Amino acid sequence: MPQEISILEHTATLAKYLDLDQRGKIMAEYVWIDGSGEMRSKCRTLSKKVTSLSELPEWNFDGSSTMQAPGDNSDIYLRPCAFYPDPFRKGDNIIVLTECWNNDGTPNKFNHRHECAKLMTAHEDEEVWFGLEQEYTLLDPVDGYIYGWPKGGFPAPQGPYYCGVGTGKVYARDVIEAHYRACLHSGITISGINAEVMPSQWEFQVGPCTGISMGDELWMARYLLNRVAEEFGVKVTFHPKPLKGDWNGAGCHTNVSTKSMRQPGGMADIEAAIEKLSKRHKEHIALYGADNDQRLTGRHETASMENFSYGVANRGASVRIPRSVQAEGYGYFEDRRPASNIDPYLVTGIMVETILGSIPDADMTKEYQREIS
Ligand code: ADP
Ligand code: MN
Ligand code: MN
Ligand code: MN
C-alpha cells in the first residue's frame, strides 16, 4: 500500500482546456451498472447536439472485464435510457444512463431496470411518486478508514454531528456542496442534503420522482457523487454499516405515494398499502440491500429485520407515517428498511408490485436469481 496516493487530478490545470472549442462535436459519457453492482462509464464522440433519446446510438463493451460476461461471449450491449447535462465537461456534453443487455437478447445480470419499468408502465395511472434519502459515508482513499477521523481512534461519540455546523462537527462540506451543484446542473430532482448522525456520513434526497425516473435519477446522482469525490481525493462507500459498534448505519429511506394517497382521505390508501407490505416483509427484505442485517438491529433509529412494524412519527419502526401526514389525513409513507446500497430499481419495483398489484410478465423477487449468460 503506498503511503500517499498520487491523485493525478489537476482540476485547476484542466479548467483551461475545458474552454477549447469542440467544433460542434459532443462528448457522451455512457454509464452502466457492472456485474458487482458498481458503476462504470466510457465516452464517445457524437457529431451533433442530442435533443432526444432516439438520437443516441446503442453501444457495447467487453463484459468479461466487468464481471458481466464470459470471455468467449463477451459483448454486452448498452441501450441508452436517459441522458443528462454533463456538469464536468459542461456545454452540450452529456452523461447517458444505459441498460445492459446480453448477446442473446436477455437483460444482463444487474439490469433490474427492465423488469421495474414494466411494473411502472402497467401502473402509470396511479402516478406513483418516490423520494429516496441516500445516506453514504466518506472514506480516506489511502487506508479506507472513515474520512477525517483520528488514525487508529475515534472522534467524540455521536450527538453533535447530525446537521452539524462548525469545525470538528462536520466533515468535507466542500465535497457535498460540489455534488449538490453538479446534481442541479444535470437536472437531477435533488430535494436536499444534510450531515448525518455519524461524522463523515451524509445524506442527499432525490424526489419526488415519478415511476422509473426514480431509479434513473438516483443512479445518476450516485455517479455524480463518485466523480466529484475523485477530484477531492475522497472515497465514497454505500455500505450499510461501514463501522461496527455504536455508530449509525446508512440507509436509503424510501418515501412513497400514489395519486389517491395524495388526496384528502388518502390515509385509508396509505393504511391499505402498509397492510400489504406487512404480508410481504421477507420478500422485500431480500431486495433491500446486502449486509442490511448489520444495520437493521433495532438500534440506531432502525427496526429489527425480523419483524414488520409501523407507526406515526416512529423512527424505530419499519414503516413510518410522518406526523404531518397523519394530521392532514393524506400524503405519503416512509419505508425505513432499505439499506444505502440498494438497487433503487429493485426497491421501487417491488414496492409497486406489492401495493398496486403484480403483473404477469414481471416478478421482482426473481431478479436476484439471474446469472451471466
Ligand atoms: P426525513 O424526514 O425522513 O429525513 P427527508 O426530508 O430527508 O425525510 O426526505 C423526504 C423525501 O420524500 C424527499 O426526497 C421528498 O422529496 C420526498 N417526498 C415528499 N413528499 C412526497 C410524496 N408525496 N411522495 C413521495 N415522496 C415524497
Ligand atoms: Mn432524511
Ligand atoms: Mn437520514
Ligand atoms: Mn427518513
The pLDDT tens digits of the residues spanning 345-367 come to: 999 999 999 999 999 999 999 99
Please tell me the distance from the alpha carbon of residue 367 to that of residue 364, in angstroms, as a whole number: 5
Confidence grade of residue 14 (pLDDT, cut at 50, 70, 90): confident
Fold for 22-108, please state it: Ubiquitin-like (UB roll) (3.10.20)
State pLDDT tens for residues 64-109.
Answer: 899 888 888 889 999 999 999 999 999 999 999 999 999 999 999 8
Q: How far is the CA of 211 from the centre of ligand 1 (A)?
A: 15
Q: Could you read off the pLDDT of 167-177 as tens digits, one per residue?
A: 999 999 999 99
Q: How high does pLDDT run on average in the chain?
A: 94
pLDDT-derived band at 2, boundaries 50, 70, 90: very low
Q: Which ligand is nearest to the CA of 336?
A: 4
Of all residues in the chain, the percent with pLDDT exceeding 70 is 97
Please report, for the chain, the start and end positions of each structural domain, with discontinuous segments joined by +: 22-108, 120-372
pLDDT tens digits, one per residue of 131-169: 999 999 999 999 999 999 999 899 999 999 999 999 999
- Give the position, in ligand 1's atom list, of the atom nearest the Cα of 261: 23
What is the rounded distance in angstroms from the CA atom of residue 138 to the CA atom of residue 142? 12
In the structure, which protein residues have their CB atom closer than 6 angstroms to any atom of ligand 1? 129-131, 133, 191, 205, 207-208, 253, 255-257, 262, 331-332, 334
Whether the Cβ atoms of residue 130 and residue 189 lie closer than 8 Å to each other: no
Per residue in 286-308, pLDDT tens? 999 999 999 999 888 888 999 99
Distance 207 CA to ligand 1 centre (A): 7
C-alpha 197 to ligand 1 mean position (Å): 18
Average pLDDT of span 53-60: 97
How many alpha carbons lie under 13 Å from residue 302 in its C-beta half-sphere? 25
Q: If DSSP codes are grouped into helix, strand and coil, which group holds residue 129?
A: strand
Tens digit of each residue's pLDDT (9 = 90 or more) over 98-107 = 999 999 999 9
Contact 137, 237 (CB under 8 A): yes
Instruction: Judge whether residue 182 has pLDDT over 90.
Output: yes
CATH top class, domain 120-372: alpha beta
pLDDT of residue 1: 35
CB atoms near residue 209 (< 10 Å) = 22
Q: How far apart are CA 100 and CA 141, in angstroms?
A: 29
DSSP three-state, residue 205: strand
The DSSP annotation for 65-118 comes to GTTSS-GGG-EEEEEEEEEEE-TTT-TT-EEEEEEEE-TTSSBPTT--HHHHHH
Under the phi-then-psi rule, with left for phi > 0, alpha for psi from -120 to 50, and beta for the rest, what region is 254?
A: beta
Domains 22-108 and 120-372 share a fold: no
What confidence score (pLDDT) does residue 373 get?
62
369: amino acid identity, one letter? Q
* pLDDT of 42 over the 70 cut: yes
State pLDDT tens for residues 204-251.
999 999 999 999 999 999 999 999 999 899 999 999 999 998 999 999
Percent of the chain residues past pLDDT 90, beyond the cut: 85
